[in-house]
Amino acid sequence: ATDLEGEREKREEYRQHYPHGRLTPPPKMLLSAHPVLSTALAISLLATSPQPAPPPPPAFPSTPIAVSSSSPPYPIGLSRDGRLRPCPSSTDCVSSSGREVTNRAMAPLSFSPTQRGAALSRAASLLRSTGAEVEVDEGRGYIHAVLPRPPPNFITEDLEILLIGGEEAGKGNNGVATFRDAARVKLPTPPWCLEKGCINGNKEQRKRVSDLAQELGWGPSDAGRMEDEGKWTPIFFNADPVPPDE
């Protein structure tokens, strides 16, 4: 009896909503009568309705994160015999020491015919203009510069320069600048070189020293000798023998 009364009430509501005899219940009545359809329709409406834009990602600082250590992992300064130390084997480095392997070795630089004091002051000023922290020992002609962290690697480097000779200006005395440029963090060595004249490994340090020398007007101390010795003689292998004169 209760079911019949409920059915009659629903039919009466249908007639009130649809006085022209339509028996299709309104959407609200359908949803209340069929909870499964109600859930499906709600999910469909949520899927098709425009969703609010996701919040923007958190802003990261524009300053690059340095991967170098706060202090160099190798000794800094002159050795007991008053020379620059050789390159450490644990990191990327170039040096003018004659004991270095090929991919670490560079020729010393010549600052002739200027005086050592003037050359020392000019080199220190140029390094400071790049943002480097520079310490100068005028008595020994020594410079230690903590170079800024350039992109893309952002690694701190220690550049040491020792000037030898050049005390008397204008008298033909050649001053020689020895150096060592070492990175505080070692990067993977590329498997090959694609540039003309490239020496594999320590490319960044080699370029930095070359750029500094160009700015100062210093050239390789062995430039003249290399012009004479750096001449190529073609050698042919498996070539056909020259036919004898007939």
**pLDDT tens for the 246 residues of the chain, in order:** 566 677 777 777 767 666 555 555 555 444 445 555 556 655 665 556 555 665 554 443 333 333 344 678 888 999 999 999 999 888 889 999 877 777 788 999 998 767 888 999 999 999 999 999 999 999 999 999 998 776 666 788 999 999 998 765 455 567 899 999 999 888 776 665 555 555 556 778 888 999 999 999 998 887 655 444 444 444 545 444 445 555
Phi-psi map region of 191: left, alpha, beta (phi>0 left; psi -120 to 50 alpha): alpha
Distances (CA, A) of 47 to 27, 36, 37, 42: 19, 17, 15, 9
Q: End-to-end CA distance of the chain, in Å?
A: 133
User: By the 8 A CB rule, do 131 and 148 touch?
Assistant: yes
Pairing of strands 109-110, 176-183: antiparallel
- As annotated, the residues of the chain forming the CATH 3.30.310 domain(s) are 93-189+197-228
User: By the 8 A CB rule, do 63 and 151 touch?
Assistant: no
User: By the 8 A CB rule, do 180 and 95 touch?
Assistant: yes
User: By the 8 A CB rule, do 160 and 209 touch?
Assistant: no
Assessment of whether the complete model's pTM goes beyond 0.75: no
Tell me the fold of 93-189+197-228.
TATA-Binding Protein (3.30.310)
